[in-house]
């Protein structure tokens, strides 16, 4: 019913007063004040012009017969959300009758109805029309904003779809490439051993070179495994719906991590103290990997003068559980606290082995379940890694 674009024709105000001379007089008054107006002989004509782009309508109370109300109902019922068409109703002169009150009750739900009591004064008429047209102008502004928002949302939706597709392709590429890289590494290892067997292991230089090759292959295999792990954590389709809904028992996750690290914990006399740990949103096995990586880092970056001590605790704060893993290791400068979570970012490249993917994987696991991860540290004092997660 309502126009798709703001009225640009002459007749922005429609008048339907079929009895007497009101229609002509009102039209002359409006046009003299600069408001383009047109008198409509029938309600059908008024509805047609409303649909063509009028901005407001003025109708006499006595014209609101049942058939007219039915036509107006059809005219206004399909207004878009932004539209509230201004309809000014000129009431009957003198005391209101039961019939006029009934007609007004029927018409009021149809549109933005304003009552103008007759006899009309020019100032009252013009004031009502100005208010109606201002209201309609604001509605057009809202329409334009909604249209712009819809266009922006459509563009954003398309961009998000493109980004999702590209990310999925990158994940698939990383996964396939990592698998394909492992086979050549096995071949390198096998044929290096065959060369040594053929030439004799008594050749010290060849044995040394073979050792270098073996170290490189081992490092590459570890890097590929970490890449595969990161690819799996990035791929949100791989999230276990069962584990996510059931929640993760962090105490179970920690127990699994310490079991997997039993040998290095024993060899380095690591002391681990853990307080009560909660259930959070996520998967226990994946958080076991988080604990495993953090404890491994605490062992790797330990002080040479004292055994590693690791304190693990959790507290509830503002609707989430914050778990802290604190150690007494060598620590790092706080300015690098965010850098260490980046891909292939390592602060001690030569002194300590590693691929630079461990903390990136941990943060990605935490974030995929709606959490966040950060760290605080000081050189020589130790580090504390935090991860916050919503409860189950």
3-class SS of residue 41: coil
pLDDT at 246: 65
Give the separation between CA 174 and CA 171, rounded to whole angstroms.
5
> What confidence score (pLDDT) does residue 326 get?
95
pLDDT of 368: 87
Task: Give the predicted TM-score (pTM) of the model.
Answer: 0.50
Domains in the chain: how many in total?
A: 3
Residue 249 sits in the same domain as residue 383: yes
The span from the CA of 233 to the CA of 367, in Å, is 10
The range of the structural domain enclosing residue 200 comes to 163-236
Residue-wise pLDDT for 198-232, tens only, equals: 776 667 777 787 777 877 777 777 777 766 766 66
Is 318 domain-assigned? yes
Does residue 9 surpass a pLDDT of 50? Answer: no
- Is residue 231 located within the same domain as residue 250? no
Within a domain: 229: yes
Secondary structure in 3-state letters for 327-360: ECCCCCCHHHCCHHHCCCCCCCCCCCCCCCCHHH
The answer on 385 and 244 residing in a single domain is yes
Task: Kindly state whether residue 355 falls inside one of the protein's structural domains.
Answer: yes
d(CA 235, CA 257): 23
Greater model confidence, 32 or 191: 32
Residue 286 counted as domain residue: yes
Q: What is the pLDDT of residues 69-103, one digit of tens each?
A: 888 888 888 788 888 899 998 887 655 567 667 77
The domain boundary, picked from 63, 97, 120, lies at 120
Tens-digit pLDDT profile for residues 122-163: 999 999 999 999 999 999 999 999 999 988 888 888 888 888
Domain boundary among 120, 154, 171: 120
Which of 203-212, 246-255, 371-380 comes out lowest in average pLDDT? 203-212
């Amino acid at each position: 019913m309502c126009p798709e674009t703001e009225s640009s024709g002459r007749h922005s105000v429609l008048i339907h007063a079929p009895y007497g001379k009101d229609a002509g007089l009102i039209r002359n008054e409006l046009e003299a004040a600069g408001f383009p107006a047109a008198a409509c002989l029938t309600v059908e004509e008024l509805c047609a012009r409303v649909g063509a782009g009028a901005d407001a309508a003025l109708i006499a109370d006595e014209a609101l017969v049942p058939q007219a109300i039915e036509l107006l109902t059809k005219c206004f019922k399909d207004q878009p959300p932004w539209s509230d068409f201004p309809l000014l109703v000129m009431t009957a002169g003198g005391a209101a009758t039961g019939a006029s009150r009934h007609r007004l009750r029927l018409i009021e739900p149809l549109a933005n109805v304003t009552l103008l009591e007759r006899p009309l004064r020019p100032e009252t008429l013009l004031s009502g029309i100005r208010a109606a047209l201002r209201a309609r102008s604001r509605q057009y502004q809202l329409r334009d904003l909604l249209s712009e928002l819809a266009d922006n949302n459509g563009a954003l939706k398309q961009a998000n779809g493109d980004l999702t597709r590209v990310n999925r392709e990158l994940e698939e590429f990383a996964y396939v490439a990592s698998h394909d890289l492992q086979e050549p590494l096995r071949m390198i290892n096998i044929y290096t051993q065959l060369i040594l067997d053929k030439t004799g292991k008594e050749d010290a230089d060849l044995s040394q070179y073979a050792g270098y090759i073996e170290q490189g292959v081992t490092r590459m295999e570890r890097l590929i495994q970490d890449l595969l792990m990161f690819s799996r954590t990035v791929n949100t389709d791989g999230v276990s719906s069962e584990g996510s809904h059931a929640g993760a028992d962090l105490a179970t996750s920690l127990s699994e991590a310490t079991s997997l690290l039993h040998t290095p914990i024993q060899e380095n006399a690591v002391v681990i103290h853990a307080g009560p740990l909660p259930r959070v949103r996520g998967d226990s096995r994946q958080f076991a990997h988080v604990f495993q990586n953090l404890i491994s880092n605490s062992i790797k970056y330990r002080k040479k003068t004292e055994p590693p001590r690791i304190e693990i605790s959790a507290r509830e704060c503002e609707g989430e559980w914050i778990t802290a893993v604190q150690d007494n290791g060598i620590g790092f400068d706080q300015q690098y606290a965010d850098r260490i979570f980046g891909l292939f970012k390592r602060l001690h490249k030569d002194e300590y082995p590693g691929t630079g993917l461990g903390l990136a994987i941990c943060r990605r696991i935490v974030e995929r379940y709606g959490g966040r991860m950060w760290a605080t540290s000081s050189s020589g004092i130790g580090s504390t890694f935090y991860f916050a997660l919503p409860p189950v």
